[in-house]
A and B are shown apart, each in its own frame.
Chain A
């Protein structure tokens, strides 16, 4: 296990693409400390911002301190584990294909942007565009799991094609905008226009929601597949799922301005 303690004082972002366990494995502490990061418009060695202790051979990184200005932690990683005790900056786990990231704090925008596999669990809040497509890209998240225990910003899961995003509290506007497929759970209240332009996929809402007129009411029922998801979320330690294990869900199909084969499932509480 390699422990990295953040000692940076700067307010200028640090782009630390090298912070991924699969590529650090096999490197000595000195080699890792010498790896380049981008500090604003200038390159700098990783060791200038972090003190290092231990070895990364087991592909387990522990990052301590407020890294809210450190971008790209775990971006592109394919395996291993990162535990962040503190906040994480933008693009956490972006484009990752495997492995696990746990943040015991908050994360900034673009958590898991265009990720393809693995799991990110942010215990606190996340910023905008969780699992979304980068500007100009047609497809966002293509696999994997993003769990946000707190609330999230706008455009959660924008243009996602596969995978699961769960937000324990409220989300900002446009959750699941342009979804191609996949699942977005917002256990609190989503902002305006959830699922706008979605083709397929599932948006699950636990709180209050106002749907666009282009979503049509289908029925009230107990979808047995949801139980599988809720149990899995619980197994991952996502406590928000617990209170939704029972109850009836109201299904709406949409968005009829797009393909219209998506769905919004809205929890109605316990009903007989």
Chain B
């Protein structure tokens, strides 16, 4: 049995999907306001099952790492395709960054014009013909007059084909033990660049399966991992298990997601955790199969 800190890790895989990703660099006069803008922009963005995008804060940025020398945050947003992503990003930046005091919004990925989404170029109309365009080194910035000065937003944002839905499940003896392990996993995952955990606090308690007994529902509760249904369904829970949390990861590439899974699983393997496993659909839906044992094997230890 493959185990970390005596916690067995199942020989299974997480099934992930390709999604279009964008990185936003949002700056503000203070780190606090940048964080507010980041949290707003990535709110209600847990899963594309019910949201227009999946999103999260990748990390805080020091003034030295932002285009305008102010503190900022790096955000990652994911959607099924570029059109959907552009719509979501324009809406979210328009409602959550443009409106937020002192902020500015910049691109955080290389721009290939035909794969870029237009954000500043769509939001500029808010300037009601008073907007200003500045172009420097191939990058166009829109300056939109607002009541505290100007909102600067980059015209085009680069996109990449990211990997969404990397995951692992932490099976705990108690709810408290499972949650503590999940929190430790999320803390570790947040150190990995290029990855976000889009669910609340990075943790999912409502893992889902495809389909439902209700015809109209595309997804429903993962009954095999619900402790309260152990006696009613074909349960996957080991004996003594009383709570399961899932960590879902979206990244700019497969390597980022695998790195995050690696450090997250290692951090989760602690007392009170009975098993670590992963969610998949039998390999029939997602093109990325992220095998836990392979990710955790010693020769894959080059954490990023």
Q: A residues bordering B, Cβ < 8 Å?
A: 162, 164, 181, 183, 200, 202, 219, 221-225, 227-229, 231-232, 245, 261, 263
Contact = CB atoms under 8 A, between A and B. Distances in A.
Interface residues of B, number: 18
Contact of A225 (B130, B137, B150): B150
12 contacts: A183-B134, A200-B132, A221-B149, A224-B152, A225-B68, A225-B141, A225-B143, A225-B152, A227-B68, A227-B70, A231-B67, A261-B132
B27 interface: yes
Contacts of B69: 227, 231, 245
A223 B150 contact: yes
Contacts of B132: 200, 202, 261, 263
Contacts of A222: 149
Nearest to A229: B136
A232 B149 contact: no
Given A231-B67, A231-B69, A224 B104 contact: yes
Contacts of B137: 232
B156 to A, nearest CB: 15
A200 B150 CA distance: 17
B149 A228 contact: no
A183 B132 CA distance: 12
A113 to B, nearest CB: 20
Contacts of A245: 69
Interface string B99-138: 0000010000000000000000000000000101111110
A245 B68 CA distance: 10
Nearest to A119: B137
Contact of A224 (B133, B135, B136, B150): B150
B20 to A, nearest CB: 26
B150 A228 contact: no
Given A202-B134, A228-B136, 6 more contacts: A219-B149, A223-B143, A224-B152, A225-B152, A227-B70, A232-B136
A224 B134 contact: no
Closest 7 CB pairs of A and B: A227-B68, A224-B68, A221-B149, A227-B69, A224-B104, A225-B152, A228-B67
Contacts of A227: 67-70
B137 to A, nearest CB: 6
B191 to A, nearest CB: 27
Given A162-B135, A164-B136, A222-B149, A228 B70 contact: no
B135 A228 contact: no
Contacts of B70: 224, 227
Contacts of A224: 27, 68, 70, 104, 150, 152
Contacts of A221: 149-150
Task: Give the interface centre of A223, A224, A225, A229 by most chain B CB atoms within 10 Å.
Answer: A224
A229 B152 CA distance: 13
Interface string B62-105: 00000111100000000000000000000000000000000010
